[in-house]
Amino acid sequence: MDKKGAVYLVGSGPGGLNLMTCRAREVMDMAEVILYDQLPGEEILSCLPAHAEKVDVGKYGGHHTREQDEIEQLMISYAKQGRQVVRLKGGDPFLFGRGGEELETLRAHNIPVEIVPGVTSAIAVPASVGIPVTHRKYASQVTILTGNEDPAKEESAIDWDWLAKSRGTIVILMGVKNLGKIAKYLMDHGMDPATPVAVIERGLRPDQRETIGTLETIPGLAKERSVRPPAVIVIGGVVSLYSSEHVVSR
């Protein structure tokens, strides 16, 4: 009987081997092929099993080593060869990781799929510096959104008017490039310019760095400090709980 292939959509967590789930480690160790990007971080990527075929499908500075349809075709091709394929992503595969699209494609080709959840950086990275995304005093809801979308575009998928008036925490991933536009758009729609903001670069990695300001000041501070992705942006009262003394050991 021919060996049956399968694909595992694996979330590696926010950074570092100690924050991967046990199941993520298990499937990574038994994988015959690993399709990875750069977001899992050097510590995890340096520990990929030697026996596995490793394929870099990451995005670097806006340059895609492989387009999304190519990545999906690779998964299909390897699985149909009877191989065990891990698609390794940072954070959780279903939070802005295009895991949902990949799941649909694999199902359409009758390829067995297992989803291996991961701890998302949207919660873990703020927590590493003492910022809870919800708090009874500050926020009873949290909204997580992609910052890749230009807030000024004509057909935005994000309700910026509602967002600016909401009383919860806003967490933005992939938003460094558009930080100035996002801040202006939120203020233009009524958000208080004094709202606290934290930008946490390279979360849970040895060179993690935090920039703290307000909605009004954060674009200038980010420019002054040459803030670069990857970074998690947190907007809301919970940022006032930030403390550099609570940065985890890394």
d(CA 88, CA 148): 21
- Choosing from 54, 80, 174, 187, the catalytic residue is 174
Please confirm, yes or no, whether 37 is among the known catalytic residues. Answer: yes
pTM over the 0.85 mark: yes
Block residue for tokens 């099993």 = 49
Please confirm, yes or no, whether 75 is among the known catalytic residues. Answer: no
Average pLDDT along the chain: 92
- pLDDT value at 61 more than 90: no
Averaged pLDDT, 50-69: 82
Query: Which spans in the chain are helix H?
Result: 22-30, 42-45, 68-80, 99-108, 121-127, 160-165, 179-188, 218-224
- Choosing from 3, 4, 59, 165, the catalytic residue is 59
- Per-residue pLDDT tens over the stretch 191-238: 999 999 999 999 998 889 999 999 999 999 999 999 999 999 999 999
- pLDDT value at 153 more than 70: no
Q: What is the three-class DSSP state of 144?
A: strand
Domains delineated in the chain: 6-119 (3.40.1010.10), 122-246 (3.30.950.10)
Please confirm, yes or no, whether 20 is among the known catalytic residues. Answer: no
